[in-house]
Each structure stands twice: as C-alpha cells, then as structure tokens.
Amino acid sequence: MKICLLNDSYPPMIDGVANTVLNYARVLTEIEKQEVVVGTPRYPGVDYRNYPYRVIPYQSFNISSLVYGYRAGNPLAMKDVGKLADFMPDIIHTHCPVSSTVIARILRGESGAPVIFTYHTKFDQDIARAVSSQLLQKGSLKFLVSNISAADEVWVVSRGAGENLRSIGYQGDYRVVENGVDFDKGRKEEAFVRETVKDYDLPAGVPVYLFVGRIMKYKGLPLIIKALARLKAAGQDFRMVFVGGGVDMAVIKALAEQAGLSGKVIFTGPVRDREVLRAWNTRADLFLFPSTYDTNGIVVREAAACGLASVLIKDSCAAEGVTDGRNGFLIDETPEAMCAFLQRLGSDTETMKAVGQHAMDEIYISWEDSVRHAYDLYQEVIENKQRGVYDQRIRSVSDRLVDIVSGLERADSAIRRMEERAISGLKVAGGQVIDDIQEIWRDTWTD
C-alpha cells in the first residue's frame, strides 16, 4: 500500500497533530512495512531528508502573527504538489482542513485514491482567536467545512471532537479513531528520574503536580494558578511543574508571581527528549490538565503510560474513558473545585498511585495499536472506494462543489499562471478547488 500523509505542521514545529503524523509514518513504515510519503509546508533551513520515509515540503509563508510559530502552505505550488502526485498513492490521509486537504483533493483527482480526513482540533476556537472579524470567521468556517465534507471518509479522535465538528456545520458521517502515545508502558527507571530532576527543588513528601504541553492560556493554565494560590493560602505545600513553551509563557509566569507562587512553581521550558518527559511523568504525583480545548489529550495518555493519574474537567474531550476515582479524577471547571480536590487528596500518595496504575491499565493506548487499527481501516476504505460506496457521498456533498468542466472554465485564468508542470490532470482538480473557495466567499459576502 502506498500512503500519503498530509498535515500543515511538522518538525521543527511540534504539536499534537504533528506528533500524530510522525507516529503514523513511523509505524506504517517500520512495522507495517508500507511505502509512505509525507507532505507538509516547508520551513526555511530545515533538512527533510533525515527520515526513513520521504518528506516532500512545499512552498509556505510565515503566519506567526496569527498563529505563533506556524507557517501556512501554498496548496497551489504545483511543482511541489506534482512531486506528491508522482507518488500515485493508494490512500490519502490528511490531518488538517486547510492547505493539506486542498492538496488531498487535488491528489485524488490525479490518482483516484480515496481521501481520509481526521479532525483533531477545535478549529472554531482557533479561528476565533486568530481573526476578530465575524465575517471572516464565518467565511473561514465555511471553507473548512466544505473541505472536510469533500473527503471520502471523516475520522475524529474522540466523541467530543465529533460533536464539535457537527457544531461548525459538518453534516456527514464520521467514525472515532483514537490516537495513541509513543511512550512505552511503565515508569522510567529511578536513577534516570533522579538525574533528570536533580537541579529542581522537589522536597521529599511534598506533592508534585505536572502539566506538559504548550503554555497557552486556553489550556486552562490560569485556572491552575488560581487554584494553587488558594491551596497555598490554605497552608498546603506542593510543587507545580510546567513543561513546555508557548506564547503565553510570560503571562502565566506573571500570574504565578502575582499569586505569590514563585517558590512553588517551576517552568522547565520545552523538552524534546521523550525519555526526559517520561521521567517527569514518573516523578510527578498528579497530572493537572483542566483543558476543555483539547479534543483528545494525548498528554493524559502519556501520563497514564507512566502510572500517573490526571485531574480533568468533567465532560471534556480529554476526560473521555476516564472514571472519576478509578483511572483519573474529574472536577468542575473552577479554581475552587481544583483547590478543594487537591486539599481533600492532600499527600495521599497511595490513592494517587492506585488510580495511576488503573490509568496505565485502562486508558493507555500505544501508537502501534492505534496505527495498526487505522491501517486495517485503510484497506476497508480502499475496498469501499472500489465498490463505489463514496461516489454518491461526493456528488451530494454541497451545491458549491463544482462540476469539473465548469470549474475548469471559471478558474482557467488562475490555472494558466501555475507552473507548467500542472497543466494536465492536476489542472482539473485544482480548478475545482479554486472555484469552491471562490463560491464560498461569494456566499459569505452575500449573507
């Protein structure tokens, strides 16, 4: 099987979705022995040749003013897209509904391969943070939903992610395909843990709380600071360790200082070494993750891999599969609730360890198991495509999805400006996508 994976983020930018694509490519190549190519926006100065599979970067531009650290890809950079088309994939799996899915649709027109889209992120919240104009938000969501609806299959990483996808206007079917984690199951050896944390003030007998991820306010970090301020005022000792970096680092540090937590809160900065991250998850007593933004919470399962229980918000996506007091702890989304819980639990390490062990046994899932399941589904999708299962779905997606011929005619002037490589098969699919975008924006302005 020849598999094309597409995503709008990839190293050196590391986030949950980039980590997903890395592990899909790794497992499919090393374990399933399949031929894989990854398409992603190009970061200047990065060498993409050091992977056991082919990575094809395509033209991009800096959008850090909107989304810190990210670059947006140009899906109509046809010289680069042509390299992906030459691969002639059997399956196209896109993990972002922007340029990656535009390219997926172009590649489908060239290869005939089915397109799978996986919904990882609450894009309505991302767009609302990046764009203040209600009109632009509306138009952007229309474009995303149109792109997602054009896929042959839509997967989501949790039930909550599926509900969010429905809330932004998607009306088709989807199936839940959970992500895994790349931590081995089991606690990191004690000597390595001691070496990792030796330079930090972590007194014996004092509970250590941990957060791992991007330092962003929307992940519930102000709630943690406010809860810990109350906990300190109540006379309870603790240490709180934040592992990661992000645009809100200065804000969260300032909140901690204002709350008088400077001696109790530690910021390690970003940690790339996965074994060092395992060591922090092994050393901690509780993982605090009050995020209602995340659709899957991979870090919660990474913690579970190390026998570390998480404190989560009731009914959040990250809390799916978690039973309060059994394999995790569930609280209301308030600083008061978190403080009250931490006070009640105190330094009861036996309970923390028992719940952490249940988390390891019950909610941990490896990337090997997750991607093997996806690989089985790939074969099912290919068979469905061959039987014509998706033909009616594609025809009925939306009135705005253009007939290929008329789409080509209306977009012809734009296509002629593309590089010479794109004139044949890519031209048709490119015209369809361009016309789709134009139609959506016309509808938006009319509305």
Per-residue model confidence as pLDDT tens digits over 102-149: 999 999 999 999 999 999 988 777 767 766 777 877 888 888 899 999
- Nearest 5 degrees, angle CA 27-CA 30-CA 35? 90
Q: Hey, how many other C-beta atoms are within 10 angstroms of the C-beta on 136?
A: 14
| 2-180+369-446 and 190-364 in the same fold | yes
412 within 8 A of 432, measured Cβ to Cβ:
no
Lowest-confidence segment of 95-99, 128-132, 371-375 by average pLDDT:
128-132
Q: Are strands 175-176 and 153-156 parallel, antiparallel or unpaired?
A: parallel
Of 184, 369, 365, nearest in space to 275 by CA: 184
CA distance 98 to 119: 11
Query: What residue has token string 């039973």?
Result: 323
Encoding tokens for residue 82?
A: 């042509």
Q: Which fold has domain 190-364?
A: Rossmann fold (3.40.50)
Query: What pTM was estimated for this model as a whole?
Result: 0.78
Q: Going by C-beta distance under 8 Å and a sequence separation of 6 or more, which residues neighbour residue 221?
A: 211, 215, 242, 248, 252
Q: For 13-32, what is each residue's pLDDT tens digit?
A: 878 888 899 999 999 999 99
Residue scoring higher pLDDT (79 or 250): 250
CA 322, CA 438: separation in Å to the nearest integer?
44
The phi and psi torsions of 402 (rounded to 5 degrees) equal -85, 145
Mean pLDDT of 211-230: 96
Dihedral in degrees, nearest 10, Cα atoms 197, 203, 208, 210: -30
For the chain, the domains span 2-180+369-446, 190-364
For residues 405 and 440, give the distance between their C-alpha atoms in angstroms, rounded to a whole number: 18
> pLDDT (tens digit, 9 = 90+) per residue, 241-300?
999 998 899 999 999 999 999 999 999 999 989 999 999 999 999 999 999 988 778 899
Q: Is the pLDDT of residue 441 over 80?
A: no
Fold category of 2-180+369-446 in CATH: Rossmann fold (3.40.50)
State the average pLDDT for the chain.
Answer: 87
So what's the pLDDT on residue 61?
85
* CB neighbour class for 272 (10 Å; exposed up to 12, middle 13-18, buried from 19): exposed
